[in-house]
Structure 1
Amino acid sequence: MHGVRPARREDLVGLPADVAPLLLGGVLRATVGGETVAVRLTEVEAYHGLGTGPMPDPGSHARMGPTARNATMWGEPGHLYVYLSHGIHSCVNVVCGPDGVAGGILLRAGEIVEGTDAARGRRPAARADRDLARGPGRLGDALGLRHPLHDGIDAITGEVRHGAVARLELRAEPLVDIATGPRVGVAGAAGTAAFPWRFWITGDPTVSAFRWGRGAGPDR
């Protein structure tokens, strides 16, 4: 795509809350089963692990330290942390921060810019093309990246993992017309304005609908 370049490891060594806005307008391209789908990223959320940044993040999978589930979050930046949500959907995160410091950026939504037919085949319930990757589970399904097969795949080098290849591209010039606010559906304090770590492209139709998490509403 015009205006994007391959992501470099050093682009992603900052804290997730600082790096996350830089992903907007970038592209994640995945080839799975011989079919390539590319998503222009329109909505992301940052998550910090234990000891990452100036304050604890109670909404992070890595809030209690390393586990078998979140091991990828503690590795070098540029790999994809792919986890299973509600036992059904594979959700995709870009790992960032220095090696050994946990951080991830959840890819919440995007626009399919390549491989629309393949994405439709993987998301037959989508009522319109704007819904193909509107929400993190839908985005993971559209790309074809699955937990646990593709957890840890390197989106910088494009290594092959279980027949899949992923590549991340960033905008040459970061977007400036972006919005920020609480994360979607995150319970308790982690889903309040104390963590304005959801970032999205203002007015983009593929951005997912906001909902408060349990105990995180404005009247909390």
Structure 2
Amino acid sequence: QGARADGLAVPSRFGTEVVARLLGLRLNHPAAQDFLELRPQDPATRAEAAYSAAQILSFGLLADSWQIAQVKSLAASFTLPQINDWQRQLLNTAFSKIGMPYVWGGVSDATETDFGVTARGGYDCSGFVWRVYKLQSYPNEGTLASTLRGRTTYTMSVEVPRSKRIGFTKLQPADVIFFGSRGPNSKGSQISHTGIYVGNGWFIQSSDEGVALAQLTGWYKQRFAWGRRPLREAGLQP
């Protein structure tokens, strides 16, 4: 409800998929088995259902187990800052992919073959960002699609000069964010992950939980390297 209240057109599965991934109820298959990955609209297999059930049982029988309590608290705290129309359009695209699986090399909701494996659809981390900014069309977008030139996380991260990199405290919704082994001191070659900042300490990414929301805390905050603002690069916002 929070995302809708903030003016985003989120899919009906949004709440369920976000909570399921915060609880770790979805299994990520090895890259060589990406053909087993399911999209949100695909019927769950018995094996997938059994995995989710086993995860739930591992929490214990009490409804107030710490895992559930923590996720309830996170869900209740989710809000967005005030966003402009361009940020809303980009986040709507990003949020429409919630629940799609992590697929190595994936850039689409549809069937594609990447690295010799045919999957029903899905995204790796940079493929998700590529979809939102490069492959999705927006009215009057100008040069937005051309701001990202390279497909890989490394290339995306070094396309902007140091003077244009955005620090943690200056992030705005729809900024592309990068993570490296040495945090802000990372070199381009050490950047290994990317996502899109949502606001108020949340971001959206494709990781082993598929396309999901996560908090920019703990591991992610320690390894946050820098951000970039394609909307500014395209002259669509200051």
Answer yes or no: same fold by TM over 0.5: no
Higher alpha-carbon Rg: 2
Higher RCO (C-alpha 8 Å, min separation 6): 1
The alignment's TM-score, normalised by the length of structure 1, stands at 0.24
Higher helix share: 2
TM-score, with length taken from structure 2: 0.23
